[in-house]
Amino acid sequence: MQTYVVPELVAELAATGRPVVLFGAGDLGVLAHYALTRLGVRVTCFSDGRRVKHGQTLRGLEIRAPEHLAGLPSDTCVFLCGNYLATMTARLRGMGFTDLHDCVGLLDGFDFGGSDTGMDLVFIERKVALHKRECLKAKEAGDDLLILKYLDVVVTEACSMKCQDCSNLMQYYAKPRHSDLDLLESAVDRIMAAIDGIYEFRVLGGEPFVNTRVHRVITKLTGYEQVDKVVIYTNATIVPRGDNLECLKHDKVVVEITNYGRHSRKHDELLETLQANGVVHLTKIPVWTDSGRIKYVERSAAELDDMFRNCCVNDVLTLLNGKLYRCPFSANGTNLGAIPEDSADVVDLTGDRAGAELRADLQRLYGRSTHLRACAFCNGRDYRTPRIEPAIQVRRPLPLV
């Protein structure tokens, strides 16, 4: 991708009127359209690889299939409004487009106050920051830096809901346990000593507030200098009190609420409590894909590699019971005993691995571009995976087959 100075690029686009395409019809695309429009640049269209989007409109513009961009001139300016940057870049270059840009310079620091995007400012700030982190990965690899984008820290296998299609596989836990916090803290200490930084810890379960000692973990994570954010994911069934509430007031903490409607029975009470205590938070209605089943399917290595490259969680490391996995499906499927453990897919922190040896293991795991053993048991988590109704409840844990 080309580097650019936003004022210069914007001035040139506004003056010449050459075509501008926003590749990605999601939240980043909406933000990019708002910013460019405010700056006087006319956007030609959106484009998206998801078939369900084709032929629809977004902010008054057509969403075209990538193959329908062929009629545009080769000097079309394309903004990559998503985080599948390598895949998107390769696809567009294969179609003859060369003027490709990420959205960091456009969105980072832009004033979205009073915007008509339908997103609150906390959500926008996180979206832009995560896009920036994704765009920095290639440079950091070249500089031999090891900075993680996400690290899921699982504090419990227990959940206050029992969703039959949970992509983190909570519906299969018959006897869920809380995490051993001594083991968890030891593992995180060694990880942080071996890396250069991390954008976001994600504290989750299950439902993290089921664990009454989750404050101990949150306080530990916010104490690291080289972490930007600690995000707590909750389904709004439990309102934190005491220490579990006090720890959320830290300026690195964001509480992300998934609103499941009637199932999130304490949603409004939780919002009131967080607002009254000055806790940074956001709430959103989820979109689920059919990614919550453990079922082995015979696929070729090329098919599995394609699944992995396009997976929306292929950059999420997951720490569960002292072991670090490349994705939450791999972590929980292996932990449940439903997926055979593969030493290439995990870094075991239950022993004494540390220092340069651990750093090399982390670089190998985080930098891999080929599929995991778990991919053969997964239905995929990308733009091609069918969407389903979220949070359908079951009365008892699903059997492992």
What six digits make up the tokens of 204? 């989750």
What six digits make up the tokens of 218? 């949150």
- Mean pLDDT along residues 337-356: 93
Residue 87 pLDDT > 80: no
Q: What is the pLDDT of residues 124-157, one digit of tens each?
A: 998 998 888 888 876 666 667 899 999 999 999 9
Check residues 93 and 2 and name the one with the higher pLDDT.
93
Q: What is the pLDDT of residues 13-59, one digit of tens each?
A: 999 999 999 999 999 999 999 999 999 999 999 999 888 899 999 99
Rounded Cα gap, residues 68 and 286, in angstroms: 30
**Per-position DSSP letters for 192-238, written without gaps between them:** HHHSSEEEEEEEESS-GGGSTTHHHHHHHHHT-TTEEEEEEEE-SS-
Task: Return the domain boundaries, the chain.
Answer: 6-123, 145-388
HEC readout, 175-188:
CCCECCHHHHHHHH
Check residues 171 and 88 and name the one with the higher pLDDT.
171
| pLDDT in the model for residue 216 | 98
| pLDDT in the model for residue 139 | 66
Residue 343 pLDDT > 60: yes
Q: What is the pLDDT of residues 201-235, one digit of tens each?
A: 999 999 999 999 999 999 999 999 999 999 999 99
The domain covering 145-388 belongs, at the CATH homologous superfamily level, to: Aldolase class I (3.20.20.70)
Tell me, what DSSP letter sits at residue 292? -
| pLDDT in the model for residue 49 | 86
H or E element that contains 32: helix 27-38
**Per-position DSSP letters for 35-98, written without gaps between them:** HHHHTTPPP-EEE-S-GGGTT-EETTEEEE-GGGGTTS-TT-EEEE-SS-HHHHHHHHHHTT--
User: Would you say the C-alpha torsion 65, 66, 72, 78 has a positive or negative sign?
Assistant: positive
Percent of the chain with pLDDT over 90: 82
| pLDDT in the model for residue 74 | 86
Helix (H, G, I), strand (E, B) or coil at 328: helix
CATH class of 6-123: alpha beta
| pLDDT in the model for residue 389 | 96
Residue 89 banded pLDDT, cuts 50, 70, 90: confident
What is the overall mean pLDDT for the chain? 93
| pLDDT in the model for residue 4 | 62
| pLDDT in the model for residue 260 | 97
Say if CB 254 and CB 232 are below 8 A apart: yes
Is there a shared CATH topology between the 6-123 domain and the 145-388 domain? no
Residue 2 pLDDT > 80: no
Provide the whole-model pTM: 0.82
Residue 160 pLDDT > 80: yes
Gyration radius from the chain CA atoms: 21
Dihedral class, residue 389 (left if φ above 0, else alpha if ψ from -120 to 50, else beta): beta
C-alpha dist (Å) from residue 275 to 245, 266, 272:
12, 14, 5
Rounded Cα gap, residues 257 and 396, in angstroms: 24
Whether omega before 278 lies within 30 degrees of 0, making that bond cis, reads no
Helix axes 181-194, 214-222, angle to 10 degrees: 10
Percent of the chain with pLDDT over 70: 97
Residues 6+ apart with CB under 8 A from 23: 29, 46, 47, 48, 66, 78, 79, 80, 81, 82, 88, 92
| pLDDT in the model for residue 144 | 78
Rounded Cα gap, residues 216 and 221, in angstroms: 9
